[in-house]
Amino acid sequence: MSRRRRTASVRPDQSFKGRQFTAEVILWAVRWYLMFPVSYRDLELMLADRGVEVAHTTVFRWVQTYAPEIEKRIRPHLRLGNGSWRVDETYVRVKGRWMYLYRAVDSRGQTIDFLLSAKRDAEAAKRFFRKALKQPHTVNPRTITVDKNPAYPCAAAEMKADGELWRFFRLRQCKYLNNIVEQDHRRLKRLVRPGLGFGSFHTARRTLAGYETIAMRRKGQVRGVGGRNMRTQATFVAELFQVAA
């Protein structure tokens, strides 16, 4: 009986049901877009060169659908980060306006988390810290290094008083120690540049989640998957959706 139940519980992934193209082609296009600095029109031509005729608007819809899904499925497979966080914000243009992307890495450069926000204040900082603390691959930090943004001390003090941050936790405002996260911004900016900004907050949030997740994979943060082994990385993403690479 137990064997029959286990067999029945393993069902084919329904994420690609009703799509005109196969799961392999869709994941191929999504991975390429999230990994390399190309526009949707560039990717349309690249796919056509491989014999896949697909409109750039269709590739856009694929990215919007599957980028956040990849993020959700990869999270449980990430290696545990350490307790020394480096936090900073960078700017992202959304519908002609600058928005703030909060980002954190640990002392080894491994991504902790990210959050897109319309504001840069203490409430946004607290939302970011709370989101990061909920992730399965993070630990309650012993130190958080930030820049001179006055919102961080306020947010950290309130969360420490409420018991959300470790009582021996220390906030450091030291710009040069944050070079590691500022350098990491460059990779993200290089990916965002070909698109010339985002059309909506929703679109930006989903696409950025894909950029950050694929970067985690390339940094070697996924357990058992080498950061420079492209074939293994492709196979891993395919296995997340129960399809062949």
Q: How far apart are CA 78 and CA 204, in angstroms?
A: 23
Residue-range definition of the domain harbouring residue 147: 80-197
Measure CA of the first residue to CA of the last residue in the chain; give whole Å: 33
In-domain check, residue 241: no
- Looking at residue 175, its pLDDT comes to 75
The pLDDT score that the predictor gives to residue 8 is: 33
Residue 139 domain-assigned (yes or no): yes
Q: Is residue 167 part of a domain?
A: yes
* Distance (Å, whole) CA 89 – CA 181: 9
**Which pLDDT score is estimated for 13?**
66
pLDDT values of the chain reduced to their tens digit, one per residue, 245 residues: 333 333 233 344 667 887 888 889 999 999 999 999 999 999 999 999 989 999 999 999 999 999 999 999 999 999 999 999 999 999 999 999 999 999 999 999 999 999 999 999 999 999 999 999 999 999 999 999 999 899 999 999 999 999 999 989 999 998 788 889 999 999 999 999 988 789 999 999 999 999 999 999 999 999 988 877 888 888 898 898 887 65
User: Is 117 a domain residue?
Assistant: yes
* Residue 110 within any structural domain of the chain: yes
- 12, part of any domain: no
The DSSP-derived string for 59-126 is HHHHHHHHHHHHHHHHGGGBPPP-SEEEEEEEEEEETTEEEEEEEEEETTS-EEEEEEES--SHHHHH
Q: Let me know if residue 219 belongs to a domain.
A: no
What pLDDT is recorded for position 245?
Answer: 59
Q: Is residue 129 part of a domain?
A: yes
The C-alpha atoms of residue 159 and residue 73 are separated, in whole angstroms, by: 29
215 CA to centre of own chain = 7
pTM of the model: 0.89
Question: What integer pLDDT is reported at residue 111 of this predicted model?
Answer: 96
What's the domain count of the chain? 1
The CATH number of the domain holding residue 176 is 3.30.420.10
Q: Which two tokens stand for residue 18?
A: 């009703």
